[in-house]
Amino acid sequence: MEQRPLGRTGADVSVVGLGTWQLGGDWGDVDDDSAAEVLDAALDAGVTLLDTADVYGDGRSEERIRRALVARSDRPFVATKAGRRADPFEAAQYTPENLRAWIDRSRRNLGVETLDLVQLHCPPPAVYSDHRVYDALDAMVADGAIAAYGVSVETVAEGLTALEHPGVQTIQVILNVFRRKPLEELLPAAAKAGVGVLARVPLASGLLTGKYDESTTFAPDDHRNFNRNGEAFDVGETFSGVPFEVGVAAAREVAAIAGDAPTAAFALRWVIDQPGVTTVIPGARTVEQVHGNVAAAELPPLTDAQLSDLERVYDERIRAHVHDRW
């Protein structure tokens, strides 16, 4: 699979990575065996970047990654996140001591001395401009607890703020056919700064596979049920903030534009080809989904007609719901 340099980290990573929120929780149940199979399938298919977080299943996703890697000789780049264990969830909790404790816990969960990458996990907005936070992260780079750090953001504005800090090596942002705002300013700014970009929620939580219809329901412990209106966290993380019925109708049009290509892979190819993107990190709950997603790396670029048709779908159906919000 095509590998790209992840900003200035010195690592090359696959254009299709694997998001592992599903292997922790909040997406209905994924048992230990299925999680191990998903991880093995991704690595066997050439995926070299895994995205996880300390809070996915309260550490379960990180621990499953550690267990999967014990049996393998290859070492993917593992990007984790810190900061959502803050309780209460406020900027004052982002002390050097708390950051250190969260990061040390991830090192234990993942079974490594040095974490490849720690991303601030969509913290309260004030954190992105708090130099004490970056100083604490710089100190952990210096003592070898982490090799690099970056940020995961909800909004373009947060990403632009983070880019002002020279120690930030990566930005993770929602980018997909239904979330185009980062194309305008954030991706060009990241490219100019030599900062890697991890594109998350690339399938709009599954909408962009075209497999749901208006009657589709989700398990009670699936955020697509319990966070439909932002009850638990930022509503932009669930279906990219697009109302479900609106997204289902728009996804039907996307599937038609994809033609013979599988809709999920087609939607991922769109993300991969956006200038500034390093890697796209679709989440997968099954081996079949992993295979469907890595197939994006082999698809040809979209045609000009497909690109303009997708833009029309966005303008007509999606833009009003999301564009000025994130």
Q: Report residue 302: phi and psi, to 5°.
A: -65, 150
Which residue among 56, 94, 128, 149 is the active-site one?
A: 56
Q: Does 282 bind ligand NAP (CB under 6 A)?
A: yes
Least distance in angstroms from the C-beta of 320 to ligand NAP: 21
H or E element in which residue 98 lies: helix 96-110
Lateral strand order in the sheet of 279-280 = 18-19, 49-51, 77-82, 117-121, 149-152, 168-174, 196-200, 279-280
Q: Which of 6, 14, 15, 27 binds ligand NAP (CB under 6 A)?
A: 27
Q: Which of 60, 64, 121, 180 binds ligand NAP (CB under 6 A)?
A: 121
Nearer to ligand NAP, 25 or 276 (CB): 25
**Number of neighbours of residue 135 by Cβ within 10 angstroms:** 11
Q: Report residue 303: phi and psi, to 5°.
A: -80, 165
**Separation of alpha carbons 255 and 259, rounded Å:** 7
**Separation of alpha carbons 287 and 167, rounded Å:** 36
Q: Does 314 bind ligand NAP (CB under 6 A)?
A: no
Interaction pattern, residues 138-157, with ligand NAP; x per rule: CB under 6 A: --------------x-----
Q: Are 32 and 62 in contact (CB under 8 A)?
A: no
| Count of positions on this chain that bind ligand NAP (CB under 6 A) | 30
Q: Which stretch binds ligand NAP (CB under 6 A): 68-76, 136-144, 252-260, 278-286?
A: 278-286
Interaction pattern, residues 38-77, with ligand NAP; x per rule: CB under 6 A: -------------x--------------------------
Nearer to ligand NAP, 139 or 183 (CB): 183
DSSP string, 244-281: HHHHHHHHHHHHHHHTTS-HHHHHHHHHHTSTT--EE-
Q: Does 159 bind ligand NAP (CB under 6 A)?
A: no
H or E element in which residue 136 lies: helix 131-142
Q: Which of 42, 103, 118, 122 binds ligand NAP (CB under 6 A)?
A: 122
Rg (CA), the chain: 18
**Beta partners for 200?**
174
Least distance in angstroms from the C-beta of 81 to ligand NAP: 6
- Give the footprint of ligand NAP on residues 191-250 (CB under 6 A): 200-206, 209, 211, 237
Least distance in angstroms from the C-beta of 134 to ligand NAP: 18
Q: Are strands 3-5 and 49-51 parallel, antiparallel or unpaired?
A: unpaired
- Give the footprint of ligand NAP on residues 7-26 (CB under 6 A): 19-22
Q: Residue 128 is encoded by which pair of tokens? A: 């992105």
Least distance in angstroms from the C-beta of 304 to ligand NAP: 25
* Residue 56 annotated to the active site: yes
Q: Which stretch binds ligand NAP (CB under 6 A): 85-93, 247-255, 275-283, 306-314?
A: 275-283
Distance of CA 71 to the CA centre of its chain: 25
Q: Residue 51 is encoded by which pair of tokens? A: 């995205």
Q: Are 239 and 204 in contact (CB under 8 A)?
A: yes
The residues annotated with a catalytic role in the active site are 56
Interface with ligand NAP (CB under 6 A): 19-22, 27, 51, 81, 121-122, 152, 172, 200-206, 209, 211, 237, 264, 281-285, 289, 292-293
